[in-house]
């Protein structure tokens, strides 16, 4: 729903957009998870290498991905709010510890800043109907892909206002898919986007979606409800 660059960091630093490498200011450097691990299938690794090769000329760029939303903030901001080492929240797509069990993904941003592609392996913990990914998992993948694109367009905090998804074919658990998102229109604070989720050979269109994101002012987030 929300994507933010964080107070005092309104440039496109969230989701690793323009993010500087960790510095000595940070006591705990977040681990970039958008790289191969033992849970990645051969197909996932192959597609990842293909996208890296395509990015070699600078037309696309891989965006780092972290465990917690706060890890996307510049270290100096993390230090200021005193949350660098605090355990607790996790980015929804990174909620599963076991490599390969949940979302394994890497998002690539086009040099124009108006297009993102998310390579994603949907693990067995994302199941809905036996053998297939949950509709909510597909929605999560789409929301994250278009949200990252909207962030790059807005260069400021954005939030999902509308998300409409047509599910065209079930996605088998374990499948590797590509969610391809682009900005369609930018009107004031409104950013309209589209997204298509296909298999890596582009033989099957699993889902198509439209989204509206709103650029918002950075606000101090409220304390989480007590658990």
According to CB under 8 A, which residues from 39 to 68 bind its own copies? 39, 41, 43, 68
Instruction: Verify whether residue 71 is a known catalytic residue.
Output: no
Q: At closest approach, how far in Å is the CB of 29 from its own copies?
A: 19
Assess 36 for contact with its own copies (CB under 8 A): no
Restricting to residues 154-213, name those near its own copies by CB under 8 A. 157, 159-167, 170-176
Return the sign of the alpha-carbon dihedral for residues 5, 53, 33, 149: positive
CB proximity list for 72: less than 8 A, separation 6 or greater: 6, 13, 14, 15, 16, 19, 66
Assess 24 for contact with its own copies (CB under 8 A): no
- Residue 58 — φ and ψ, nearest 5°? 90, 0
Give me the catalytic one of 71, 143, 199, 218.
143
Beta bridge partners of 185: 192
Alpha-carbon distance 68 to 92, whole Å?
9
The radius of gyration of the chain from alpha carbons, rounded to an integer in Å, stands at 17
> Which of 86, 185 has the CB closer to its own copies?
86
Q: At closest approach, how far in Å is the CB of 46 from its own copies?
A: 13
Contact present, 113 and 153 (Cβ < 8 Å): yes
> Which of 31, 164 has the CB closer to its own copies?
164
User: Of 17, 22, 24, 201, which Cα lies nearest the Cα of 116?
Assistant: 17
> Which of 56, 227 has the CB closer to its own copies?
227
In the numeric block, the tokens 């989204």 are attached to: 211
Restricting to residues 63-122, name those near its own copies by CB under 8 A. 68-70, 73, 88-93, 95-96, 100-102, 121
> Which of 17, 171 has the CB closer to its own copies?
171
> Which of 108, 132 has the CB closer to its own copies?
132
Assess 123 for contact with its own copies (CB under 8 A): yes
Alpha-carbon distance 138 to 207, whole Å?
8
Q: At closest approach, how far in Å is the CB of 130 from its own copies?
A: 5
- Residue 47 — φ and ψ, nearest 5°? -70, -35
- Of 27-35, 58-66, 135-143, 181-189, the window that binds its own copies (rule: CB under 8 A) is 135-143
Catalytic residues: 143
């Amino acid at each position: 729903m929300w994507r933010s660059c964080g107070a005092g960091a309104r440039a496109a630093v969230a989701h690793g957009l323009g993010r500087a490498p960790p510095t000595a200011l940070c006591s705990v450097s977040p681990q970039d998870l958008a790289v191969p691990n033992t849970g990645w299938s051969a197909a996932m690794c192959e597609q990842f290498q293909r996208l890296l090769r395509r990015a070699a000329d600078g037309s696309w760029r891989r965006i780092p991905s972290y465990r917690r939303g706060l890890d996307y903030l510049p270290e100096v901001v993390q230090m200021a709010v005193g949350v660098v080492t605090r355990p607790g929240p996790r980015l929804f797509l990174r909620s599963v510890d076991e490599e390969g069990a949940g979302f394994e993904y890497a998002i690539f941003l086009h040099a124009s800043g108006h297009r993102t592609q998310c390579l994603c392996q949907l693990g067995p913990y994302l199941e809905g109907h036996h053998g297939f990914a949950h509709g909510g998992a597909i929605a999560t993948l789409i929301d994250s892909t278009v949200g990252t694109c909207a962030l790059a367009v807005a260069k400021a905090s954005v939030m999902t206002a509308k998300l409409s998804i047509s599910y065209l074919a079930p996605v088998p658990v374990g499948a590797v898919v590509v969610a391809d998102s682009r900005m369609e229109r930018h009107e004031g604070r409104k950013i309209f986007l589209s997204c298509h989720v296909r298999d890596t050979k582009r033989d099957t269109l699993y889902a198509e979606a439209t989204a509206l994101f709103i650029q918002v002012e950075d606000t101090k987030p409220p304390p989480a409800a007590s658990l």
